[in-house]
């Protein structure tokens, strides 16, 4: 059973001089449910080295571990799954390579894409960017800051878990979840926090508040 409440996307260049391992260790203490190895600005060999550390940490803690984009890296690290974007392998191909037990996620910004991803066999969706963010660059205008209403529209259209991503903080996470998200995915809200443990815990509290607001 995956805990979608707080989904951490790693980024060592966005961690104020701390290692990804240190940030993830503290996020685990704060109750993170999913860790995604991103590190897009690092060579794949370095991502692999960091990933080995994260795979060990997450396995010991019972936290779900997925790899951004790279199916080959997910295989090499024995990750729980992979998260795919528009320019990555299709969901169906990733499923063939990783097997039926793998967790396969897909980034979407529109209802039609969400429905297509679910039909292709995606296990969950990352919806965004919900709010304006500087963590992700080269995003088309129509996909940047889609707002909580888009989260609600996608939640109503699919039957698989969704996490909102993009500009999410402990201050606005409850709103995103109240509209239908199962959790929130963040980068800098945890990686740049003075205390990643406390930041993760605050996000969990906000997610639980959002669930109460929608009647869960």
Q: Which residues are catalytic?
A: 38, 107, 136
Residue 42, sorted as left (phi over 0), alpha (psi -120 to 50) or beta, turns out to be beta
What SS3 class is residue 53? helix
Please answer whether residues 127 and 162 qualify as being in contact, where contact means their C-beta atoms are separated by less than 8 angstroms. Answer: yes
Burial of 18 (C-beta count, 10 Å sphere; 0-12/13-18/19+) = middle
**Nearest 5°: CA angle at 104, between 49 and 209?**
95
- Quick one: angle between helices 111-120 and 91-98, nearest 10? 30
Phi, psi of 163 (to 5 degrees): -120, 135
């Amino acid at each position: 059973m995956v805990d979608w409440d707080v989904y951490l996307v790693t980024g060592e260049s966005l961690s104020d001089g701390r290692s990804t391992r240190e940030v993830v260790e503290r996020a685990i203490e704060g109750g993170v449910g999913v860790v995604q190895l991103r590190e897009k600005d690092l060579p794949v060999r370095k991502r692999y080295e960091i990933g080995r550390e994260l795979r060990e940490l997450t396995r010991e803690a019972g936290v779900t571990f997925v790899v951004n984009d790279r199916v080959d890296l997910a295989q090499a690290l024995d990750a729980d799954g992979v998260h795919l974007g528009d320019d990555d392998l299709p969901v169906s191909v990733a499923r063939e390579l990783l097997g039926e037990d793998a967790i396969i996620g897909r980034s979407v910004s529109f209802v039609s894409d969400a429905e297509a991803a679910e039909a292709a066999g995606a296990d969950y969706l990352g919806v965004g960017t919900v709010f304006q963010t500087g963590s992700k660059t080269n995003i088309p205008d129509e996909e940047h800051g889609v707002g909580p209403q888009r989260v609600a529209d996608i939640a109503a259209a699919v039957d698989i878990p969704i996490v909102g991503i993009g500009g999410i903080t402990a201050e606005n996470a409850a709103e995103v979840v109240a509209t239908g998200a199962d959790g929130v995915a963040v980068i800098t809200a945890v990686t740049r926090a003075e205390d990643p443990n406390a930041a993760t815990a605050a996000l969990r509290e906000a997610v639980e508040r959002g669930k109460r607001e929608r009647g869960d």
